Chains A and B, each alone.
Chain A
Amino acid sequence: MTDPAAPEVRETVHETGGSPAPPDDEVAAALADRFTGAVVTRSHGQTVVWVDRARLAEVARHLRDTEQFTTCVDVCAVDHLLDAARAVPAGVGPERFEVVANFLSHPRNRRIRVIVQVPEADPVVPSLTGTFPGVAFAEREVFDLFGIRFDGHPDLTRILMPDDWEGHPLRKDAPPARIPVTFKAAGGPR
């Protein structure tokens, strides 16, 4: 790598654009079998399954009960307002929001990522708290910062922002530094 004449090793091919899953990924294959409409891709060597949002909780339960995925390490969301024309795999209808859940199987020592598309008009996703109670905070955070509601969450309240906050700051249309300042002399938003 120290040779300046060596070609750049930077990757130019976008792998999420629909490359098929490797045949040896039996977890993804089983998911695709069981849940019609599930699309399996590889993103930089990581297995990603795109499912219908209504079946997210079912998928999580399947992963836990059948495939030994012991932990849902993370739930977060992405707002694609400004890059709506992004590349999604064939068979997935792009929407404004994506909710992303990363699962980890300790016994099998592997990870899998599940992505669902969430439309702006009806931002509701089934909650995973019934299967993985540890995502309760994460789902509250997504609700707080993106305004995506989790159906079946026991305590869906704001977690990081004040309880009386209006709006959802991590949405792309919530510009930073646009809150009224309470000091008299400040004269409006910075």
Chain B
Amino acid sequence: MTDDLGVIEEERLERQTDEGAQELRSRRELVLTGAPWPEGDVEVAETMVVNMGPQHPSTHGVLRVMMELEGEVVLRAKPVIGYLHTGMEKTGEELTYVQGATNVTRMDYASCLSNELVYSLAVEHLCGVELPPRATWARMMLVELQRMASHLLFQATNGMDIGAVSMMLYGWREREEVLRLLERITGLRMNHNFIRPGGIAADLPDGWQDATLEVCEKVERGVREYDELLSENPIWVERTVGVGVITTAEALALGVSGPILRSTGYPWDLRRTQPYLAYDEVDFDVIYTTNGDCYDRYRIRLAEILESIRIVRQCVERMPDGDYRTQDKKITPPPRARIDESMEALIHHFKLFTEGFGVPPGETYVAIESPRGEIGCYLVADGGPRPVRMHIRGPSFYNLQAMETMMRGHLVADAVAVISSVDPIMGEVDR
């Protein structure tokens, strides 16, 4: 046994490129300057380059922005990322399709279920699995609950960044209600690993309808409060209206999606334009505005919480009965009770959790609307139980590029509002 392992190790080493070992340089040589500026003409008398982050409280984790300032005006801004890079796409190639959801859920940690969903949809697309309706509807409800939580998180941090600190507490309060519900359903507050290839991990718990409706009511009340607190607040309006403007053409060219694209007057929402799950069967509105500034992005996310509540209520009302995962035995593990009485079930269980299931060769790109925009999964399979390539197209990764467009010509204080209104989740940016 040990010999076998030794052979694998040697093979691996032989496959290394001629670039040799990865030796870290001495600390003195560690580059602290980041990459050079992109080309561009800036003709001003005297400018100053200021680093914001990666430890700045308004940079949502570990985003670093290099800003070239003239006085207090931002001339150029360059996001520097990678501080949270943990090689999750590499890890995804090492894990079986059964284990994969555990990995992707940690990317966009504020909307974990979207990641799991896009990954599962990609795997199911390659396998050609059809889901029972209950799995589809439960997924839709969970993802919408998560969208509420994610947008509530945005309301909290956006308020905090712009200076409405009480907003932070209110946003967190309502978000916690949603997370508590998700904990009741999935077992965990975050990183649920609940949506898996083939369906969802478990059936919805007893009494989930009442709990869900109660949360919806609480959140709805909260959203009305925020609206009253902020939407016509003169300080809030002063800080956000006309700040960080981006046009539709710029947004499309930069690959921006989600609420930022919709704030420019372009009602593009994959839930409506390229429906997945059962979004073509529920009633909801695509929210969009036309100014493309920070205020509009705040308003859109606020209104989208209400739309999500609408969808969740329809899900509660119309949740179909039946299986919560596909009965394809090659993908779904057998129920625990079957293992004791059926040899075949035992074998299936063992094989699923040791070597996983094979996915027919092929490649696919599946995209869904996460709270931040289009999240896509490009999956290449070779027939084995592990993907050849698992790539996640994170919406924040692309949205971040629009930051410079939005910031240019604004004050440093507005730069904070812009970063906040992009709502980047660095786990997804750096993966």
B residues lining the A interface (CB < 8 Å): 12-13, 15-17, 19-25, 29-31, 34-39, 81-82, 85, 87, 89-91, 94, 125-132, 252-257, 266, 268, 273-274, 322-323, 326-330, 360-365, 367, 374, 376, 378, 380, 382, 388-389, 391, 393, 397-398, 400-401, 430-431
Q: Which of A44, A76, A158 contacts B364 (CB 8 A)?
A: A44
Question: What is the minimal beta-carbon distance from A32 to any residue of chain B, in angstroms?
Answer: 20
CA distance A14 to B360 in the complex (A): 7
Are A134 and B128 closer than 8 Å at their CB atoms?
Answer: no
**What distance in Å separates the Cβ of B246 from its nearest Cβ neighbour in chain A?**
12
With A100-B378, A109-B274, A163-B31 given, can you name 8 additional A-B contacts, CB distance below 8 Å? Answer: A1-B131, A8-B330, A46-B364, A73-B374, A73-B393, A83-B388, A106-B266, A106-B268
Partner of B255, one of A46, A135, A141, A167: A135
A136 to B78, CA, bound (A): 12
In this assembly, does A93 line the interface, its C-beta being within 8 Å of a C-beta of chain B?
Answer: no
CB within 8 A of A134: which of B31, B253, B378?
B253
- A71: chain B residues at CB < 8 Å are 252-253, 255
* Sample (15) of A-B pairs whose CB atoms are under 8 Å apart: A1-B328, A8-B330, A9-B328, A10-B328, A11-B126, A12-B360, A73-B374, A73-B393, A74-B378, A74-B393, A134-B398, A157-B35, A166-B19, A166-B20, A176-B87
Report A167 CB to chain B, min CB distance, Å.
5
A180 touches B (CB below 8 Å): yes
User: Does A164 lie within 8 Å of B29, measured CB to CB?
Assistant: yes
**Given A11-B127, A176-B94, are A78 and B388 also a contact pair (CB < 8 Å)?**
yes
Residues of A51-76 contacting chain B, CB below 8 A: 70-74, 76
Residue in B closest to A87 when the chains form the complex, CB atoms: B361
| Nearest Cβ on chain A to B294's Cβ, whole angstroms | 20
CB distance from A4 to the nearest CB of B (A): 6
Binary flags per residue of A166-179, CB closer than 8 Å to B gives 1, else 0:
11011111111011
Other-chain residue from A1, A145, A162, A178 in contact with B326 (beta carbon distance below 8 A): A1
Please name the residue on chain B nearest to A120 by beta carbon: B17
Residues of chain A touching chain B, judged by Cβ–Cβ distance below 8 Å, are: 1-4, 8-16, 43-44, 46, 48, 70-74, 76, 78-83, 86-87, 100, 102, 104, 106, 109, 111, 113, 132-138, 141, 145, 154-155, 157-167, 169-176, 178-180, 182
Contact A72 B23 (CB under 8 A): no
Question: In the complex, what residue of chain B is closest to A111 when comparing beta carbons?
Answer: B365
Contact B82 A161 (CB under 8 A): yes
- Whether A166 pairs with B22 at a CB distance below 8 angstroms is yes
Compute how far the CA of A138 lies from the CA of B401 in the bound complex, rounded to whole angstroms: 10
A73 to B261, CA, bound (A): 13
Q: Which residues of chain A are within 8 angstroms of B401 by Cβ–Cβ distance?
A: 133-134, 136-137
Q: What residues on B are CB-neighbors of A100 within 8 Å?
A: 363, 378
Contact call A43/B364, Cβ cutoff below 8 A: yes
Closest to A110 in B: B274
- Please give, as numbers and ranges, the residues of chain B lying within 8 Å of A166 by CB-CB distance: 19-20, 22-23
* Complex contact A73–B367 (CB within 8 A): yes
Distance between A30 CB and nearest chain B CB, rounded to angstroms? 21
Which residues of chain A come closer than 8 Å to B364, judged between CB atoms? 43-44, 46
Option from A4, A14, A74 in Cβ contact (under 8 Å) with B376: A74
Q: Which 6 residue pairs across A and B have the least CB separation, nearest first?
A: A134-B255, A11-B128, A157-B35, A134-B254, A173-B15, A160-B82
Contact B252–A159 (Cβ < 8 Å): no
- CB contact under 8 A between A162 and B82, given known A8-B330, A174-B16: yes
A169 to B20 Cα, complex, angstroms: 12
Check A178/B22 contact, CB under 8 A, given A106-B268, A137-B400, A163-B31.
Answer: yes
Contact B327 A2 (CB under 8 A): yes
**Measured CA separation A44–B22 after assembly (Å):** 40
Within the complex, the shortest CB–CB distance from A6 to chain B, in Å, comes to 8
Q: How far is the CA of A133 from the CA of B37 in the complex (A)?
A: 16
CB distance from A79 to the nearest CB of B (A): 7
Closest to A175 in B: B12
**What's the minimum C-beta distance from B351 to chain A, rounded to whole angstroms?**
15
Specify the chain B residue showing the minimal Cβ separation from A170: B90
Do A167 and B15 contact each other (CB < 8 Å), given the known contacts A71-B253, A73-B367? Answer: no
Contact across chains for B330 and A163 when beta carbons are under 8 A apart: no
Q: How far is the CB of A99 from chain B (nearest CB, A)?
A: 12
